[in-house]
Structure 1
Amino acid sequence: MNRLMPSDNLALATRYWTLALLTGVYALSVLDRYLLGILLPQIKLEMTLSDTSLGLLSGTAFAIFYATLGLPIARLADRSSRKTIISCSLLMFSLMTAICGTAKNFVTLFIARMGVGVGEAGTSPSSYSMISDLFEKDQRSTAMTIFFIGGNVGLLAGFVAGGYVAAQYGWREAFLVAGIPGLVLAPLLFLTLREPSRGLSDNLTHSNPSTKSSLTECIRFVWSQASYRHLIMGQGILLVVMNGVVAWLPSFLARSHGMAADSVGLQMGLVLGLGGPIGMLVVGRLADRYTRLDLRWGSWVVAIGCLVLIPGYILVLVAPSGTLAMAAFFIPALMGSFFAGPTAALSQGLTPPHMRTTSGALFLMITNLIGLGLGPLGFGLLSDALTDSLGKESLRYALGLAPLLALWSAYHYLCAGRMLEVGVLRAEGHGQSLT
C-alpha cells in the first residue's frame, strides 16, 4: 500500500487527484442508486406492481445492506487500506447494477438491488475519512461539497442517459449500460490513488492505524456529542425528502401531467445535474467562510437552506402543468444536496481522526436507514392509502409531506449549531490524549 508520510507540504495535485477519484466513485454510486427512479413507470407496467412494492425497490431493498454493512466495513477501513476497500466496493456495486438488468421478476430485482447496497456500503465512509485527512477544517466543507457534486453528475447521467436508453431500448438495457463505467474506474483508482496518513490535516500525525478503539467506545463517544445527534436527525429527515422526491417525481409527472420517461429524465437530469452543484458550492463556501468567524454557522447555514426548500416543493405540487412543475423544481434542485458537504465536514470534526471512518459509517447507517429506508417507501405507502379517494392524484398529496419535513430538519440543524464548538474541542482533546 502506498501511504503518504505526514507533511505540511502535501502536493496540491495529489490532494485534488484523490478528491477527483473519490468524487468519480460517488458519482457512479449515485447514478446506480437513483437510476431506478426514472425506470419505475416501465417496471410497474411490466411487473404490475403497487406503489408500495416500487417503494421497497427504490429505497428499502438498497438501504437494508447499504446502511447496516457500512459499519463493519468501516471498522475494517479504520485499521487497513481504505483504497482497497473503495476499489473492491466499486467493482461490486457496478456489477450488481448490471445484474439488475437481467431480473425477471420482483424478487430477483429486489435481491439485485440489495447487492448494489452491499457494494456501495464500503465507499462513502472511507472517502469521508480520506478527505478529512487531506483538507483542514476551514477547507473541509468545500472539499466535501466538491465530493458530493459527484452525486449531481451521477443524477444527470442517470436521468438523462438512463431515460434515453430506457425510452429507446428498455429499462433492462439502462441498468446494463450503467454498470460499465465502474468496472473501468476501479482499477484506475487502485493503481493511482495515494492514501494519506490519518489525522494529517489536523496535525495529529500520531493518529495512525495502530491507534485503536473498540466499536463500543466509538459509538459511545460520538453519541455523547449532542451536535452529532442533531446532525443525524437533520440529515436523516432531509434524506427522506430527497430520496422520496427523486424516486417519485418522475411517476408524479407521468401520472398527473402525462409526461414521457425520456422527457422527464432529460429535464430532471439537467435541473439536478446543473442546478444542484450551484447550490451546493454556494452553501459549502458560505459554511467555510462563516465557520472561520463562528463555527456554529457551519450548521446554521444548512438550517437556512432547509427553509428555502419549503416554497420550492409547494410550487412543484400546485403547478398546473408539467412544464411549470419542472420550472418550479429548479428551487429544490438548486438546494437538493446542499446539506451534504457541511454536514459531513461537521460530523467528521466532531470525531477523533482514528474513529472517523467508523463515525462516518455510523452516521450514514442511521441517516440512510431513515432516509432511504423510509423515504421512497413512506411516500409509496401514503400514495396507496390515498388512491381510493384521490385516484391518480394520490401521489401529489403524498409528496405534500416534503415541505413539513424540511421545516423539521431546520430545527435540528439550529440545535446542532448551538453546541458545536464544545463538541469539536472534545473530539480534538480526545485525539490528543491518545499520544
Structure 2
Amino acid sequence: MVSALGMAAVLGGCGLTGDSGEVTLELVAADYGDSKATSSQRYWDDLVEKYEADHPDVHIDVTVHSWNDIDREVKERVAAGDPPDLAQIGAYADYAAKDLLYKADDVLSIPVQADFVSQLAAAGQVNGVQYGMPFAASTRVLFYNKTLFAEAGLTPPKTWDDLAAAAEALKARGVKYPYALPLGPEEAQAETMQWLLSGGGGYLDTIGTYDIDSPENVATFTWLKEELVGKDLTGPVAPGKLNRADAFAAFADGDVGMLNGHPTLMKTAAAKGVEFGMVPTPGVNGESKATLGVTDWMTAFKKNGHRDEIGDFLDFVYSEKNVLDFSRRYDLLPVTGSASEAMSAAEQDKELKPFLDELVLSELYPVGKTSWAEVSAEIKKRIGQAVASGSSPAAVLALIQSAATRAESAE
C-alpha cells in the first residue's frame, strides 16, 4: 500500500473507441503491493492481457492508486461527473445511496454472485440489495512472539486474564511492548472493533443501530484502561498515538510480545527472522466468539453504460483461478466460496488457514451505512482518549455514540 503509480486517465465519459463497436472499460484500482515489483498494476496488466486475448472488441484500461489516494481520487471523479466504469475501493454506500451503481445482480452471472462468502456479500448490501462486490478480505488473529513467550515460560492466551498475565510476565523480562495496542488514527477502528467483539459487544445493536456506549463496550474499555494501559503493559507509546503500521514494524523488530494482526504481518515478521505463533483472539471467558473481518469492494458505475461488458469482465475477475492468484500474491483471503475451499485444501496455503477459519466467525464494519465513514473518523479521533490516564471510558464512548446518532439520523 504505497505511493500511487499514476493518475487515472480521463476517457471523456462515453467509453467507446472509434466507430468499430469496440468498448473500452476503465477500472481504477487500489494497490496492495509494497514496491513497483509487487504493485497491483502488474496483477491487473496480466489479467487484462489474458481477458483481451479472448475478447478483442473489449479493452480494459486499468490505473492503480495507493490506498492513501484511491478513495479520494474516485470521489473527485464522481463529483466531476466522470466516474470510471469500475472502481476497486474501500467503500460503496455513498455511491449506492445516490443511485450511481449497478446492482450486483445487474452485472454478475448468478453462479458468480452466489459464490461470494455469505458474510462478505451481506456486508455489500444496502436495504437488502447488493451493490458492493467484495474483492479482497482479511481477518484478525492474535500474533505472539514465540521466542519471547518461550523465554518467559508462557503459553498462548485464551482469555483476557491470560493475556494480562502474559503481558505482566513479558514486562518483567523487559519486553518493550508486552501487548501493542494501536489506537492511533491510522486504523483505530479495527483494533477497537476487535476488542469490542471479544467483549461480547460491537458497533451495532441487534437491530443494526449504533450502540457504541453499550454496557459491554464500556466494560471492555474499562478493562483495557485498568488492566493493560494503567499497568504499563502496552509499551512506551500511548495507545492513542500508536498506529497499526508502527505496531507491526515493532513486532517485526522483535519488540512486541503480542498484538492483533492480519495476514500481511506474517511475511513482514518472517522476513526479519521473528518466530511467531497465531491463535484466535482471546475473549472474556475463552476464545472470542467473533472476530473482525475486513473486505474491500468492487463497484460498477452506471454512467457510461456497458453493463454486459462490465459483467462479462467481472465474471472473469471472480473466477476461482483469478481470485486464488490475487489472494496468494498479497496474503489475503479469497472472497468466494470456491476459492476459499481450494485454499483450505492446498498445502501451499497452510499459513493462511488460521485466518480462513476465522472468516466464518467474522463480523465486518457497518459499511452499508452511509454514516460509517463519519463514525469511523470519529472513532479514530477519540478512542485513544478512552484509555488515557484520568479519562472516563464511558464518557468517551458516549461522545462517539452521540456523533454516531447524529450521523445515522442524517442518512
What TM-score range do you get, normalising by the shorter chain? under 0.3
Comparing both chains, which one has the higher relative contact order based on Cα–Cα distances under 8 Å and sequence gaps of 6 or more? 1
Larger strand fraction of residues: 2
Q: TM-score, normalised by structure 1?
A: 0.26
Larger Rg: 2
Q: Which has a greater percent of helix?
A: 1
